Each structure stands twice: as C-alpha cells, then as structure tokens.
Amino acid sequence: MMLEMEKDFESKLRLQNPNGVQRSKSIAFRAPQEQFTIHDFELGGIYGVGSYSKVVRAKKKDTGCVYALKIMDKKFITKENKSQYVKLERIVLDQLDHPGIIRLFFTFQDTYSLYMALESCEGGEIFDQIIRKGRLSEVETRFYAAEVIDALEYMHGLGLIHRDIKPENLLLTSDGHVKIADLGSVKPTKDSKITVVLPSSTSEKACTFVGTAAYIPPEVLNSSPPTFGIDLWALGCTLYQMLSGSSPFKDASEWLIFQRIIARDLKFPDYFSDAARDLIDKLLDIDPNKRLGAGPHGYAALKKHPFFKGIDWHNLRRAPTPKLAVESNSGEEGNSPDSSWNLTHVGDGPFQQVPAEKSGVTSSSEAHSHLSRLASIDSFDSKWQQFLDHGESIVMILNVKKIQKITNKKVQLILTDKPKLIYLDPSKQISKESIVWSDNLREISIQVASSSHFKICMPKKVLSFEDSKQRAWQWKKAIEELQNR
C-alpha cells in the first residue's frame, strides 16, 4: 500500500496555540514539494544512517547545488507507525529559521521512498573532529558549545525539545560553524508555537524512551515526562566528550551505561579546568529543574558561566572558527559525487551505479576514518584486553548485528593484528565464539553486499553482519590488508 505522505503534508493540519485552543490552518510550506526523481541527482558519500533512513550527499544535475538528501523508507515508516513523526519533522524543519539549525529546501517522493533535501554541511560532524584530534581544546569546545547553546535557546523558546543532542548530530559548515541536525526525535511541549496535534492512536506517551544511551538523563530512565532539561543534560555529556574524547558514562553495554547514569558515576580527567568541571557538573544535575539553563534565570545564567568568558553572544556567527581537521587519507573522495554506493529500494525502477570495486573509486565507507582512530574511539579503553594475547593490538572494533535466521543479535566484533577476529556478547563480555586465523589466511574471505552488510566466509561456515555505521568496505579492506601483509 502506497504511503502518500507528501499529499498529507499539504493538507489542513490541526495546530495548537499557547492557550490550548485548537484551530485548523492550511500550511503554505516554505520548502515546497517538488516533482523530482532520484535520477535528477548524482549521489555521493553517505553522511549517516538511521532506523528508517539514510542521509547521502546529492548533487542536483541541472543546477549543481549540493544537498544532504534524507531518504526515508515508506514501508518501514508504515510498518512501525512512524508516519506522524515524519510529518512532524517535516513541519518543524520547515518553520525553524535559525543559522544554527539545519535547513530544509524541498521534498519529493517515489514509490518506495520519501526524500528531504537538507542543507549540506561539508565540515562533517563534531564527532569527526573529536576522532581526528583525539579531543578538542577548551577554546574549540567553548566556541562549539556557545553556538549549540544559541540554537538550543531558540528551539526551547519555541517550545521544542530536540531529545538527541550528541556530537554526531552537531554538523559543521565548510567554514566551521555549528548546525543542529536530525530533528526526527523532536518533542513539542504543550506551549509550543508550532505544535502539531497527532491523532490519539499514534500519540506518543509522555515518558517514551527516545535518544542515544550515553546521553539519556536519569529522569528519562525513570519514565518522567520530557523537559528542556533533557537537552541540557545531553549538552553536558557532549561538552565532556569534546574535552576528553569519550562520553562521561561510556561502558561496555547500554545496561551498564544506564547504571552509571542513574548512579551519576561521573569522573573528571585531571586536565579539565575548574570552569569546565563546574559547568559540566551543573549541566549534569540529577534534578532537571536545577540544571544550568533550566532554572529561574534560564539561558542567561548559562551564558554567564565563567567557562564562556570572552564569548560575544551577539556576534557568534561572525567570530573566527576553529580550524577543521581533515581526514588525511580521504582527500575529496568522501564527498565526491562519484563515490559509489549501493542504494536499494530507491526510485520507481532499477537504479544502476557502478560498484566501487569495479569503478576503481575508493568507497565512502573506506574513506570515512582511519582504522586506528576507529579502534581508539570504540575500544572502551582496556575492557577488551582480556581477549588479546601479549603484544596483540586491536585494529578495528565496533558494535555490529550478527544476522541469524530467526533473530539478529548485537555483538562486539574485534579485529586484531595477530590476525584474529573475535565476536563477543558486549553485555556479558564473554566470548561466545571466536574466529582465529591459523596457518592458511586464505581460508577466510569477505563478501560485501552493501555498505552496511558483509559476510565472513569460511570453509564450513558463513557469518553475516550488519554495521550501522556503513563501514562494511572498511572491514573488508582491513582484513584483506592483514591477509596480504
């Protein structure tokens, strides 16, 4: 059954004003619905992947304009009853107007997918800068945090809670300014100026769990209604991660992360300044109403904190920006419209692109980050050393899904320089099974089905994995490099 969402977007929608009086209003969208097709664009590297969407660099063939094209799977949206929230994201994006929030230019659709053409941020994610630099300086962190605060103050002033603030959702323009992205989890408050009233059959419960584990505040884990304090807690976690290189409550599984959050098991590195410690400590207050920025003095108190001394809040977008660290082995390939990738169920007919291994073009997954950086960011410090031999080092490590006939299971996949490949239950840290390469390294081969799916083929067994970070080609390249050394 075809999902005609875009027609609904142009229909009359019920809005609620601050006084709670519902009224019918026809919305004239700033970002129009166009009659484009996916064939009107040259597709480049993948920017990100969600539960029902991909965001890919797309260059309009006739104009040369570059967008971040969000491609959403209609079938999944219908099956998971996400229609109302896709509409809400579209409506909210269309009405927001702030230099610190990603802009929506237009939408279109076909049989399989909905498309949103968003502002392309060529500077990548703040998360990328943390990986490439190890950690950010206080000068860099102060600048980025100030721009995030400026955008959050605008959103909160409109009665919108973002609910998924994290370094991956903070994008950078080519000149280094911050844009908040991914408004798929946005929650309008009852006093919001642009609230869309969802039908009761799909309305979200007040305490629905939304967000990313390491940035979830304790009140959400305790099923309390959402408040602006959710974003302030996540801001505190993000500040900590920018300054240290890792999130404050990082652990080997979501369950362990949640236990640390509830206990507020928070430790500061020695190199944090007193001002940084104090700011993060006040943002990570257990009581959401006492977090800096949520009290009676609101954002004025947050902006006056000593950590932000020297920030000109009225001229943020005219201030000099931190120098961006560029991935040394990627050049321009990661953002090139010629970087190939497999796009399934897009368009009304077959969409043909030359596979990366035949085109001679380095895939966007391969160019995304260095293997050593990938290992250092996901290795959870020394927690996995017990599975390594003396002198053995981790080359790649990531949470992936092991694809099975009945259920898919999250596992920790570890590639070492022995070479050895192990997969573990990340919550129990017990080796269920390990793949150890012996004398004949050629007994193992890697087959890549797409940028997120790959198979490890052995004489008597084939294991299938899904990597949500779109690094299937990186796994193949890393394993083959070890085979050929």
Which residues are marked as active site? Answer: 164
Q: In what order do the strands lie in the sheet with 394-403?
A: 430-436, 420-425, 408-416, 394-403, 461-466, 453-458, 445-448
- CA atoms of 433 and 422, how far apart (whole Å): 7
Hey, what amino acid is at 182?
Answer: D
- CA atoms of 346 and 348, how far apart (whole Å): 7
Q: At what angle do helices 126-133 and 229-244 cross, to 10 degrees?
A: 30
Is the distance from CB of 193 to CB of 18 less than 8 angstroms? yes
Q: Number of helices (H) and strands (E), helices first, in the chain?
A: 13, 20
Hey, what amino acid is at 277?
Answer: R
Q: State the residue for tokens 């996995």.
A: 384
Query: Pick from 181, 175, 271, 289: which is nearest to 228 by CA?
Result: 289
- CA atoms of 123 and 325, how far apart (whole Å): 9
Token code pair at residue 168? 């991956």
Q: At what angle do helices 274-283 and 229-244 cross, to 10 degrees?
A: 150
Q: At what angle do helices 371-378 and 126-133 cross, to 10 degrees?
A: 100
